[in-house]
Amino acid sequence: MRVALLVTHIRAEEKLILAAFNNREISPDIILDRELNIEITQGAEQLAPSGIAWRDYDLIFERCVSTSRGMYALAILNSWGVRTYNTYETAATCSDKLQTSIALMQHNIPQPHTRVAFTPDSAMQAIEDVKYPAVLKPVTGSWGRLLARVHNRDSAEAILEHRQTLGDYNHHTYYVQEYVDKPGRDIRAFVVGDRTIAAIYRASNHWITNTARGGLASNCPVTDQLDEICVRAAEAVGGGILAVDVLEDTRGAFVVNEINHTMEFRNSSQPTGVDIAQEVIDFVIGQIGVVA
Amino acid sequence: MGNRMALCPACDGEVVIPADAMENEIVSCLECGAELEIMCLDPLELDLAPEVEEDWGE
């Protein structure tokens, strides 16, 4: 079985993934996204930077920290019929919060009330429609960057003016959500195929609970209810290997906040007791075996 | 092979390179906090890691 890991660089997760492959006696080639130089029309016959033709790989496992590089690489590889995890379809949906919202809506999966507007004036109206506090997010981005909880009209006006003046066109799509008054934590659930293999609470005194921003991880029991909504959410965006971020509202009901297609999990195996990397890789190997 | 030491290209401080380090792995300088990329293991060569870009993430 010939596998390549497509990366921007090697982080803790990639080392865990490589170790998990090695446990199954597979040694993936490592391909750096910075070395890609692809002739689109030559197809999978051409050589990857590893010196191996793309078509000769049974799987390209995409783990780029650069969302755009990873997504476009998947687009090209999938168009040639090269098998990847995740697929371009899944990556393109997850990398865009608006596209994710649409997918969740189409599959009747609960999510925070969300509005979209394209000018500062209509965005102000959208913010007042969802009521204060509202949350303003860029449609692309990660690690809690550039999120704003907006408490009143004064701060809304300031943030919208800054976004319109300082941001490029990506920041002129105004994605506005109701603020979900969560209990000082959110849930990150790891979905592999059709199963939620583990979940963590991410607790923080700050309203942004990402572990990249200091949120503390602890085990979250995977109940049937949590498993069901997370697996449905994962399927809604195309399925694969995904981290589903879930909020609990004041009634304790789950709403899906966003879905990540190149999930980070270095801090999650210890509290959950689940070897997430090995679960992921065993699933991937099994899937290759199914179609081989 | 055990841990090795390398000089930080930002501050000239000593950086511990773990025995299981890999090329293109990101390590941190504990003296100045710089993120560094291991460009080569033999001979050991570090460079400043790329700056985080707007589309980086999960």
Domains of chain B in sequence order = 4-48 (2.20.28.160)
Q: What is the pLDDT of residue A290?
A: 62
Contact B56 A65 (CB under 8 A): yes
Confirm or reject contact between A9 and chain B (CB < 8 A). yes
Res. A288 pLDDT band, cuts 50 70 90 = confident
A3-85 topology per CATH: Rossmann fold (3.40.50)
Amino acid at B35: E
For A206, half-sphere exposure in the C-beta direction (CA atoms, 13 angstrom radius) is: 12
Q: Is pLDDT above 60 for A292?
A: no
Contact B56 A32 (CB under 8 A): no
pLDDT digits (tens, 9 = 90+) for A119-142: 999 999 999 999 999 999 999 988
pLDDT digits (tens, 9 = 90+) for B22-38: 999 999 999 999 999 99
Sheet containing strand A148-150, edge to edge, reads A114-117, A174-178, A134-137, A148-150
Name residues whose C-beta falls within 8 Å of residue A86's C-beta, 6 or more positions apart in sequence: A62, A74, A94, A238, A240, A241, A242, A261, A262
Q: What is the pLDDT of residue A291?
A: 55
- Rounded mean pLDDT of A83-110? 98
pLDDT digits (tens, 9 = 90+) for B1-58: 689 999 999 999 999 999 999 999 999 999 999 999 999 999 999 999 999 998 999 9
pLDDT digits (tens, 9 = 90+) for A146-196: 999 999 999 999 999 999 999 999 999 999 999 999 999 999 999 999 999
Of A32, A140, A243, the CB nearest to B24: A32
Of B26, B50, B55, the CB nearest to A11: B26
Q: What is the pLDDT of residue A212?
A: 76
Domain ranges of chain A: 3-85, 113-178, 185-291
Of B24, B50, B57, the CB nearest to A143: B57
Share of chain A above pLDDT 90, in %: 91
Confirm or reject contact between A208 and chain B (CB < 8 A). no
Contact A143 B58 (CB under 8 A): yes
Mean pLDDT over each residue of chain B, to the nearest integer: 94
Res. A209 pLDDT band, cuts 50 70 90 = confident
Q: What is the pLDDT of residue A218?
A: 97
Q: What is the pLDDT of residue A289?
A: 75
Yes or no: is domain A185-291 CATH 3.30.230.10?
A: no
Query: Which chain A residue has its CA at the smallest distance from B37's CA?
Result: A9
Of A10, A15, A263, the CB nearest to B58: A263
pLDDT digits (tens, 9 = 90+) for A31-68: 999 999 999 999 999 999 999 999 999 999 999 999 99
- Nearest C-alpha of chain B: how many angstroms from A40? 23
- Nearest C-alpha of chain B: how many angstroms from A63? 9
Candidates A9, A208, A209: best to mutate against B (most CBs of B within 10 A) is: A9
Confirm or reject contact between B37 and chain A (CB < 8 A). yes
Mean pLDDT over each residue of chain A, to the nearest integer: 96
Contact B56 A263 (CB under 8 A): no
* CATH label, A113-178, candidates 3.30.1490.20, 3.30.70.141, 3.30.360.10, 2.40.50.100: 3.30.1490.20
Task: With CA atoms as reference, report the closest residue to A139 among B22, B36, B35, B55.
Answer: B55
Res. A210 pLDDT band, cuts 50 70 90 = confident
- Nearest C-alpha of chain A: how many angstroms from B21? 9
